[in-house]
Amino acid sequence: MTSVIDYVPGDTLLHRLNPVTKLALAAAIIAATLLADTYPLLLALLALTFALAAYAGVPGRLARLLKLVVPLGVVMFVFQLIFTRTGGVVWGFVTTDGLLTGPKVCLRLMGVALPLVLMLMVTRLTDLANACVEVLRVPYRYAFTFTTALRFVPVFSQEMNAIMEAQTARGVEYDTRNPIRKLQLMLPLCVPLLVSSVGKTEATALAAEQRGFYLRTRESSFKRYPLVARDWIVLACCVALVALGVVL
C-alpha cells in the first residue's frame, strides 16, 4: 500500500525547482488562502493548486486526497453554522452570516491542506531535507527527524493494518459497520503499535549513528541545491501571491 504523500517521479519544471522554492510556493499559496476574504480569490487559489498538480502529472493523486479533506470541510462548515450567531435566522440554528462564512472556512481548509501535500508529492524527502539544511541552514538533526517521521507514516500504517488483520482473525469485530464501535476497538491497539514504533525508532537512531550521522555538516551533501534563476522568478511570484491575498 502506498501512502498519500509518496513521491511521484517526473521531470516537469515543478519537479526541478529547488525544494526550498517549492516549500515557499506552498507557503505562499497557504498564506494567500488565509489572507483572502473573497470567494473568487479562494477558488482561484484552489484552482491554481490543481493546475500545478495537473502540470506535474499528479492531479489524480491530489483528487484522491479530497476524499479525506472534503468530509473534514463539511464538519467545519457545520461547526461554522452552529457557532456563527450573528445575522438573520434562516432555520433553527442556521443564520445568514453562518451560511455566508461557512463555505469560506471549508474552502480555506482545502486551500491550506492541498498545496503542502502537492509539494511533498513532487519532492524527494531527502532532497527536501538536504536543501533545507543547505539553503535555510536548518540543523540537519531537525531535517532528519522530519523526513524520518514522514517516512515512518506508511510503515506504521502498514503495521496498524497488519495488527488489525491479526485481531480480526482472532474475532475482534473490526469488520463492523459502526464507526464508533470500530474506533473503540482500535484504541487498545495503540499498545502493540507503540511498542513496535519505539523499537523501530531506537533501531533507526542506532543505524544512523553507525553511518556517521554525527559527522554530518552543511557541506556533506553530495547533491548541491543552489537557487537558480527559475527559483528566483518563482519566489517573486510567491511574494506577488501573498500581496494579492492582502489586497483582495
Residue 205: CB minimum distance to another protein, A: 8
State yes or no: residue 247 binds another protein (CB under 8 A).
no
State yes or no: residue 155 binds another protein (CB under 8 A).
yes
Please give, one letter per residue, the 3-state secondary structure of the chain. Answer: CCCCCCCCCCCCHHHHCCHHHHHHHHHHHHHHHHHCCCHHHHHHHHHHHHHHHHHHCCHHHHHHHHHHHHHHHHHHHHHHHHHCCCCCEEECCEEHHHHHHHHHHHHHHHHHHHHHHHHHHCCCHHHHHHHHHHHCCCCHHHHHHHHHHHHHHHHHHHHHHHHHHHHHHHCCCCCCCCHHHHHHHHHHHHHHHHHHHHHHHHHHHHHHHCCCHHHCCCCCCCCCCCCCHHHHHHHHHHHHHHHHHHHC
Span 216-235, contacts to another protein by CB under 8 A: 216, 220-223
- Counting residues that bind another protein (by CB under 8 A) gives 56
State yes or no: residue 183 binds another protein (CB under 8 A).
no
Contact with another protein (CB under 8 A) among 94, 126, 146, 157: 126
Contact with another protein (CB under 8 A) among 34, 63, 89, 173: 173
State yes or no: residue 2 binds another protein (CB under 8 A).
yes
Q: Which residues bind another protein (CB under 8 A)?
A: 1-2, 6-7, 9, 124-126, 144, 147-148, 151, 154-155, 159, 162-163, 165-176, 188-189, 191-192, 195-196, 199-204, 206-216, 220-223
